[in-house]
């Protein structure tokens, strides 16, 4: 029997949640026996090679590329897990949600105390993904099946969730693992 596949991605996040995946330490040896990794920063596979059982999403959507990647994951994964506070509620990037986008750009590229930009250009190359009006939690863009909170989530909660999912068992998380910080 072929092993089920896992894909992961980091959208508007800091890669801290991916670091937390690596924090499962030597259990990663057990994990590679249980699953294969498909598209993921872990193995640098850029495109899905086939249907995946689990897609793990770190980060919310702050630009159009994030939205494309998230929809790409939804199309190719049976189960999507929003991993960490950014994917669940936008977290630190969403602090800009109450500030108009123009003010954010002006501060970043024109008025900031350390900015040198005499021509006052705001980057607009077509190669650069368009920034969205605000940061969107993943569940506002596609259907998310499971949420694992934390900033970052504890490695144990990731492990418990994956093992339960792969063995088709109900997820019963101990109290001290569910944390929002």
* Residues lying near other proteins in the complex (CB under 8 A): 82, 85, 88-92, 94-95, 97-98, 134, 137, 139-140, 146-149, 151, 173, 175-176, 178-181
Please count the other Cβ atoms lying within 10 Å of the Cβ belonging to residue 8. 23
- Which residue lies nearer to other proteins by CB, 36 or 145? 145
CB of 124 to other proteins, least distance (A): 26
CB of 175 to other proteins, least distance (A): 6
Query: Which tokens go with 101?
Result: 């986008």
- Which residue lies nearer to other proteins by CB, 42 or 89? 89
Cα(14)–Cα(75) distance, integer angstroms: 24
Q: Is 132 helix (H, G, I), strand (E, B) or coil?
A: strand
- Which residue lies nearer to other proteins by CB, 82 or 142? 82
The radius of gyration of the chain's CA atoms, rounded to the nearest angstrom, is 18
In order of 51, 81, 149, 153, 156, the CA distances from 24 in angstroms are 25, 17, 16, 11, 7
CB of 106 to other proteins, least distance (A): 18
Query: Which tokens go with 170?
Result: 């109900």
- Which residue lies nearer to other proteins by CB, 7 or 144? 144
Cα(67)–Cα(85) distance, integer angstroms: 17
CB of 149 to other proteins, least distance (A): 6
CB of 147 to other proteins, least distance (A): 4
Residue with tokens 């026996």: 33
Query: Which tokens go with 95?
Result: 């602090």
- Which residue lies nearer to other proteins by CB, 5 or 67? 67
Write the CB contacts of 142 (distance below 8 Å, at least 6 apart in sequence): 70, 71, 73, 74, 80
- Which residue lies nearer to other proteins by CB, 14 or 166? 14
CB of 92 to other proteins, least distance (A): 7
């Amino acid at each position: 029997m072929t092993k089920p596949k896992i894909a992961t991605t980091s959208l508007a996040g800091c890669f801290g949640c991916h670091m937390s995946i690596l924090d499962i330490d030597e259990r990663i040896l057990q994990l590679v026996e249980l699953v294969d990794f498909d598209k993921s920063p872990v193995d640098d596979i850029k495109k899905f090679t086939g249907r995946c059982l689990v897609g793990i999403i770190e980060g919310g959507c702050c630009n159009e590329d994030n939205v494309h990647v998230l929809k790409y994951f939804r199309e190719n994964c049976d189960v999507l897990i929003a991993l960490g506070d950014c994917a669940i509620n936008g977290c630190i990037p969403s602090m800009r949600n109450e500030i108009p986008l123009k003010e954010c750009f002006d501060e970043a590229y024109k008025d900031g105390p350390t900015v040198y930009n005499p021509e006052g250009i705001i980057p607009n190359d077509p190669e650069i993904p368009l920034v969205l009006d605000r940061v969107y939690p993943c569940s506002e863009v596609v259907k998310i099946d499971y949420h694992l909170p934390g900033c970052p989530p504890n490695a144990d909660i990731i492990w418990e969730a994956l093992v339960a999912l792969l063995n088709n068992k109900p997820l019963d998380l101990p109290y001290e693992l569910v944390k929002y910080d």
